[in-house]
Amino acid sequence: AATKRKPDRPAGRPKKRAKRAPSAAEPDAKPGPEGAGQAEYSIPPPVSQGKWKNKERVLIFSSRGIDFRARHLMQDLRTLMPHSKADTKMDRKDQLFVINEACEMKNCNKCIFFEAKKKQDLYMWLSNTPQGPSAKFLVQNVHTLAELKMTGNCLRGSRPLLSFDPTFDKEPHYALLKELFIQIFSTPRYHPKSQPFVDHVFTFTITDERIWFRNYQIIEEDASLVEIGPRFVLNLIKIFQGSFGGATLYENPRYQSPNMHRRLIRLSVAAKFREKQEVKEVQKVKKKGSKVLIGEDRTEVVFETPAEEKPVEIQLVKPESKPIVKDKKKPRKIQRKKQKKLFRTEH
């Protein structure tokens, strides 16, 4: 029976049938104009719709009291990592486990926290919140983007390549740090703020028991690199099981705190000064010391022959005076001088 058409609503349109590819059972389908109604087109394979599945978000912030260089480094990392978020500075009196709550409020599951002490020492925390693990580093030799003035450049928000030293695969604590670096510094695919280009490389190199971070631009396909910046060195202190605390998984035995390093420098300077003072005192004692007198030698006068003693003569008569010899040439000289004076007055 035919359906009645309502006056308010339009009649429903019949649904279109999905096109399907011609099967092998229908080989007689002609591609010409006569078989155009019978032949059907094949559906292309599904294309990725670009869904943002890896939703890694990194919270980058610091404590109060950091200097200008640390603040610029923090801003550079925020620029290079489009999946990062910022937050206000944390008070020094607050405990570190408060950061887990801040990450939860910001909907972040990774954190980079810069901790400043004595307005000259900079520490970096890398943490996987809220379960862990977390690592604490001492940041040394910091150079920012504005300071270096490198010739390299990269697209803002582009995805980086991560290059690791082969040592990261040899020791277990370095393997844990490698996984932490990959999850924090790699930009998630199809992130809304990222660009679908790969034009720079983050390198992590282990030298002198420290991790050296560099950022290079990929210029051409032959992998020629130009440094962009920033650059810094991470000296590992401890790796904790939890986030910003917990059991210690690894402790660097070769780590030397900045306070101890400055103390050793002061002691070395004081030792040099003390050594100079001791040398001066020894020289003064040598100068003031009395000379050692050598005793008389009895055999020294064996070959000496005494001289004959002459009798002392007493002269009772006054010696005769010597005759005065006059200079015969003197009166002639006087006469010549007088003649010269007369000659001058006349002329």
Name the least confident of 17-21, 230-234, 261-265. 17-21
Q: What is the mean pLDDT of the chain?
A: 84
CA 77 distance to own-chain centroid: 15
In a domain, 127, yes or no: yes
In this predicted model, what pLDDT tens digit does every residue of 186-208 receive, in sequence order? 999 888 899 888 999 999 999 99
> How much is the average pLDDT of 152-181?
94
What CATH number is associated with residue 250? Answer: 3.40.50
Q: How many CB atoms lie within 10 A of CB 77?
A: 20
Domain extent for 93: 58-143+164-188+233-260
Q: Contact 87/100 with Cβ under 8 angstroms?
A: no
> How much is the average pLDDT of 164-191?
94
pLDDT band at 27 (very low <50, low <70, confident <90, very high): very low
**What pLDDT does 178 receive?**
96
In a domain, 182, yes or no: yes
pLDDT reading at 5 higher than 80: no
In a domain, 96, yes or no: yes
DSSP state letter for 151: S
> How much is the average pLDDT of 278-291?
84
pLDDT reading at 165 higher than 70: yes
In a domain, 208, yes or no: no
pLDDT reading at 252 higher than 60: yes
Express the helix, strand and coil content of the chain in percent, nearest 5 each.
Answer: 25, 25, 50
User: 302 in helix, strand or coil?
Assistant: coil
In a domain, 116, yes or no: yes
d(CA 168, CA 287): 64
Total count of domains within the chain: 1
The CA–CA distances, whole Å, from 130 to 133, 243, 246 equal 9, 6, 12
pLDDT band at 147 (very low <50, low <70, confident <90, very high): confident
